Structure 1
Amino acid sequence: MDIKEIQNLIKFVAKSGASEVKLEMEDVKITIKTGSEKTETTIVQAAPMANMPQMAAAPIAAQPIAAPVVEKVDEDAKYITVKSPIIGTFYRKPAPDKPSFVEVGSDIKVGDTVCVIEAMKLFNEIESEVSGKIVKVLVDDSSPVEFDQPLFLVDPS
């Protein structure tokens, strides 16, 4: 099972409303749990491989994921909401000692990296699908985020 299949499974479970899903295969055991406070925890464990020689796994490169864009229908109706395309941990900076990708007031264009979301030890760069100015950051740094959770408000004008 590759990382794309696992991410699609996580998205499916998040949308389905199921409280817990377990999947066991020959070499992987996956348990996805959703809590009552809409927090989602994913635990992936490799099943023990008896009588198998140790093999080095090739590193998997994180690929940029475009964030879905949805408009809000309230007092922020003139702003576009950038939402999380996956569940994981939200980071505003590429590294602890580096500056944030964007701040309130930052001008962004399509394809600019606005944040990083860590999912299963992979750091996914989230790119903007809109151009405009960041009006509000809706998530604290190093906070867990859910699929489709609002991250930023962008003024497209």
Structure 2
Amino acid sequence: MNQKQIYELIEKFEESSLSELKVETEGFKIKLKSTSAVSVPVPSAVPAAVPPATHQQPIAAAPPAIEASGNNEIITSPIVGSFYRAPATDAPPFVEEGSQVQAGDSICIIEAMKIMNKLEADFPCEIVKILAENGQMVEYGAPLFEVRRK
């Protein structure tokens, strides 16, 4: 190792988080130690602080298995988020009970991580019953609509 390589090695060592470095080659040996004392905090037996309660709408628990009546089907939430019936607070809802929808029609919005995800009907159907409340937090698989295929 030449002098330039040694200085580069020292410089890289100082930039790193290593506390010790040993390099041995034939006819050459170097040992570098960091003089800065790094203290690692030792966890104590102090109980963790309880975070303050926030006022959020309760998340619908793992959805109970809701059975559709007769030949009806249940449309469930594809993601966790907030269920909204309309695109805006002052806009009319996408659907009402009794609405006839075609495949591809928007039926609700589920907001997840500040992204508005439109849920579209996969098939032509009639909305028999709306099972979620506007603004309600819903889990993956939570029942949203009871529908009847056309």
Q: TM-score range by the shorter chain?
A: 0.5 to 0.7
Secondary structure of 1:82 counterpart: strand
| Alignment: residue pair count | 91
Aligned to 1:132: 125
Which of 88, 91, 104 is the matching residue for 2:84?
A: 91
TM-score normalised according to structure 1 size:
0.53
For 1:75 and 1:125, how far apart are their aligned partners in 2?
23
Structure 2: gaps of 5 or more residues: 1-57
Larger radius of gyration: 2
Which of 61, 67, 92 is the matching residue for 1:38?
A: 61
Structure 1: gaps of 5 or more residues: 1-34, 40-71
Aligned to 2:137: 144
Identity %: 40
Bigger RCO (CA 8 Å, 6+ sep): 2
TM-score normalised according to structure 2 size:
0.55
- Taking only aligned residues, the RMSD between alpha carbons, in angstroms, comes to 2.4
Letter in 1 for 2:129: K
* More displaced stretch, 124-133 vs 84-93: 124-133
Assess if the C-alpha contact under 8 Å between 2:86 and 2:92 holds in 1.
yes
Aligned to 1:49: none
For 1:151 and 1:73, how far apart are their aligned partners in 2?
10
